[in-house]
Amino acid sequence: MIGIKQVTGGSVSESFLVEGVAFKKTFSYAGFEQQPKKLEKPTIILLKIELELKAERDNAEVRIENVDDFQKIVDAEWTIIYEKMDKMKCLGANIVLSQLPIGDLATQWFADRGIFCAGRVDKDDMQRLAKATGASILTTVNGVSESSLGRCGYFEERQLGAERFNIFEHCKHGKATTIVIRGGAEQFIKEAERSLNDAIMIVRRCFKASKIVPGGGAFEMELSKNIRFYARLQSGRQVAVRNQRFGKALEVIPRTIADNAGLDSLDIMNRLRHKHATDKETGKYFGVNIAGTNAGICNTYSSFVWEPMLVKYNALSAACEAACTILSID
């Protein structure tokens, strides 16, 4: 229910969150500019219906006796479309959205009556909008009940860079949000999206996690200390060396965190080893602190730098399996 939209142009600091649904303006016909661009508390109807006059198929065959019969055939399609649109107006809809095309006839008809419409809306956006506004995606306009219509607090068509966006905010159910990422280059925007996706997945995992461990490399440092201590108790030299190497390999996590933060990783690692070895009570919670002027080491548990246990478990399992696969190659 979190949509991520990319808009080239502007600064990344101009990215923003929409408490609702936003999507790029779809292909529009003449008359679109006459439609309202801002609506307060609109009523929304979502369709999977085509509102467009279609050309007859090449292999269609209709036998008629006179010209009047031909005119009736032509008028029938117009009558059907007008009836559909009139029923939508009677339902009190201010916004009409459809997954299928809405042609120039319908666009102008809606514009004359102060109704906003958009056709060829993406399926994912329609589903998110349905959940957010409480609307149902309809395949007919006959016998539509009030409960099938959606509502939101505010609608606006807004210019963002070179694109125009349809934005639905303060939705009835509030189950959807959209993050609009701005940036000067497409490559930069995609990198920001990947980083954002990683963060969202971690938060999602946190909601489902029942156990946590201190972050900032504290977990790996404590694990490294315990494995090395266990290695010294082993009788076989080969097993002991393997465990020592395994314990040392775990230290790459806090060392990398320190390097990425521009800190002296050698000094940080020495301080962490000393803290974990001497402080029996809270030493196991100490990891790398990259925040502000107090950068160094800190109690990451009391500083609310936490990670889900399941993430650590999966990371260790995947790393061990990858190492074993490499070692098994002759």
Q: What is the pTM of this model?
A: 0.63
Fold of 212-327: GROEL; domain 1 (1.10.560)
Ranges of each domain in the chain = 2-52+67-208, 212-327
Query: For position 55, what pLDDT does the model report?
Result: 58
- Return the amino acid letter for 205: R
- pLDDT band with cut points at 50, 70 and 90 for residue 284: very high
Average pLDDT score over residue span 147-158: 86
- pLDDT band with cut points at 50, 70 and 90 for residue 315: very high
Average pLDDT, the chain: 86
Distances (CA, A) of 258 to 121, 198, 224, 241: 46, 20, 17, 26
Q: By the 8 A CB rule, do 287 and 305 touch?
A: yes
- pLDDT band with cut points at 50, 70 and 90 for residue 241: confident
Query: For position 222, what pLDDT does the model report?
Result: 94
Q: Which parts of the chain are beta strand (E)?
A: 2-8, 16-18, 20-24, 38-40, 43-47, 95-98, 116-118, 137-138, 150-160, 163-171, 177-183, 212-214, 286-289, 296-299, 306-308
Residue 285 neighbours by CB under 8 Å, 6+ apart: 214, 218, 299, 300, 301, 302
Q: Is the pLDDT of residue 97 over 80?
A: yes
Q: Is the pLDDT of residue 286 over 90?
A: yes
Distances (CA, A) of 226 to 75, 232, 241, 243, 261: 84, 10, 14, 10, 26
Question: What's the pLDDT tens digit per position in 182-237?
Answer: 888 888 889 889 999 988 888 888 788 788 899 999 999 999 999 888 888 877 77
Question: What's the pLDDT tens digit per position in 40-74?
Answer: 888 888 988 888 776 555 566 778 888 888 788 77
Angstrom distance (rounded) from CA 283 to CA 314 = 24
- pLDDT band with cut points at 50, 70 and 90 for residue 293: confident
- Residue 210: both structure tokens together: 């029942």
Query: For position 129, what pLDDT does the model report?
Result: 87
- pLDDT band with cut points at 50, 70 and 90 for residue 289: very high
Fold of 2-52+67-208: GroEL (3.50.7)
Average pLDDT score over residue span 172-190: 83
